[in-house]
Structures are given as C-alpha cells and as structure tokens.
Amino acid sequence: MQIEKQKLIYKGKAKSVYETNDADYLILHFRDDTSAFNGERVEQLGRKGQVNNRFNAFIMQKLDAAGIETHFEQQLSDDEVLVKRLQMIPVECVVRNFAAGSLVRRLGLEEGQALTPPTYELFFKDDALGDPMVNESLSISLGWATAEQLAQMQALSYQVNDILKKLFDEGGLMLVDFKLEFGVYHDRIVLGDEFSPDGCRIWDKDTKKKLDKDRFRQSLGDVIESYEEVAQRIGVPLN
C-alpha cells in the first residue's frame, strides 16, 4: 500500500504529527521551531528540522541494527519521517553519564561530575507541570505502564547508552545525558520520538565545549552549526 499523509493530529513544540492512510503508521514533520523551559521560549532556527530529521534517522537505524526496536521506518523527505504509530507512555526516560542540567540544580553537584555507573531517571511528560520527576512505583499506580514495561524501558535505555556512548566517543565527543520516549506497538515496547541534539547533551571530549541544545538554553550561539558539527563527527550524512 502506498502510504499517504493525511490530517494533522498533533502539533508539538518541535514536531507535527500526521495520520496516514494506514492506522499503523504516522508521519512526523521536524520543524525549525526550537523551544526551551517547557515551551516558555520559542525561536525558529534555520535548518534545524532537516538536521534533526537526518540525525535522528541515522541514530535510529544504528539502534535498529544493534537489535533495539525503534519506530523508524523510512526518511520521506528533508524534514519528514515515516514511523510506526505507538501508544506513547507519558514518561521521559533519562540516562546520565555525567552530571548536568536538572540533576546539578537539584543536588548542587558540579557540572561534569562522572556518574559511575550511569544513572537513570523518569520524568512525567507534562509541560504545564514542568515535567516533574516520578518513579516506577508511581508510574504503575497511575496506570501509565506495567512493571514489566518499565523494566524493559530501563534495560533498553541502558543498552542505547552503551551503543551511543561508543559512537560519540569515536567522534571525540562525550554523551553527557539523553532523554528517550517509548511507546507500545502491538504489545511490544518500542523506542519512539527522536534522538537528536535537542534531547541530549554532547560535549567535546577535550575542550568540554557544549554542542547540544544547551547552546540555545544558555544563549551560547551557533546552535545549528554545533548540531552539524556533531553530525559530521559521528558520520551522519547531511546532504
């Protein structure tokens, strides 16, 4: 069956989600909109949609090749991707190799402190509440996921970390932390959403220069140029 894009069903902060003529598939459109602080600050950054679409396609295919099931089906255009339609679980799964961001603020740690072994946190995906931290117990009690699904999400998040830490390391980069979202597809836990510099922290190994969305959050400039530098250093084809 030829997949056709149909109506817009959701416009998020960075992506628009379209139904298709097949109930099992969606089309995600990566826009140039860039937001921070749970949508409080929004700007358009030229080329971001394309760069993140290509970055995400590259990472998702690497993960699929390593045996992690993802929603990625096919890159359709510069800024669109065909994905499996998941029943999303409303928690953000964060793996951290080094302290940064909310962890530093919460515990007063020094940014860059190594976390050995890497740590794992869950946040409720709710902009109005500021994505509060939650845990497995609450996620089960509130019916967001089963204990088995949550255990799978944690194991998969750590596997993703092992695969990607190595990939970034080979490009002279540190994978500081990242966020994943999972959903259910025909009773299986599948990795959804995106993996791009918008949802992770990546530093140069030698200089510790930030090359991710913190450049936007902290108004450091050269946001997309930095995303492109990371892409080039890990071998993402940008043209």
Interacting residues with ligand ADP (CB under 6 A): 10, 12-15, 17, 26, 71, 83-86, 88, 181, 183, 192-193
Between 33 and 121, name the residue whose CB sits nearer to ligand ADP. Answer: 33
Give the residue with the Cβ less far from ligand ADP, 31 or 201.
Answer: 31
48 binds ligand UDP (CB under 6 A): no
Dist CA 70 CA 233 (whole Å): 23
Dihedrals phi, psi of 112, to nearest 5 degrees? 100, -5
Local structure of residue 70 (DSSP, 8 states): B
197 binds ligand UDP (CB under 6 A): no
CB of 15 or CB of 96, closer to ligand ADP:
15
Q: How far is the CB of 93 from ligand ADP (least distance, A)?
A: 12
As a whole number of Å, the end-to-end CA separation of the chain is: 28
Question: Would you put residue 233 in left (φ > 0), alpha (ψ -120 to 50) or beta?
Answer: alpha
Binding flag, residue 199, ligand UDP (CB under 6 A): yes
Q: Does 62 bind ligand UDP (CB under 6 A)?
A: no
92 binds ligand UDP (CB under 6 A): yes
d(C-alpha 15, C-alpha 42), whole Å? 13
Looking at the Cβ atoms of 13 and 165, the one nearer to ligand ADP is 13
Instruction: Single out the residue of 19, 69, 126, 131 in contact with ligand UDP (rule: CB under 6 A).
Output: 131
Is residue 148 within 8 A of residue 171, CB to CB? The reply is no
From residue 100, give the alpha-carbon distance in Å to each of 114, 169, 183, 206.
10, 18, 26, 17
CA pair distance 103, 99, nearest whole angstrom: 6
- Kindly indicate which of the ranges 67-75, 98-106, 149-157, 229-237 contains the residues binding ligand UDP, using the contact rule CB under 6 A: 98-106
143 DSSP assignment: T
Report, in Å, the least distance between residue 75 CB and ligand ADP: 14
How do strand 173-185 and strand 200-204 relate by DSSP bridges?
antiparallel
Shortest reach from residue 237's CB to ligand UDP, in Å: 24
Of 127 and 148, CB closest to ligand UDP: 127
Task: Name the residues that contact ligand UDP, by CB under 6 A.
Answer: 92, 94, 100-103, 131, 177-179, 199-201, 213
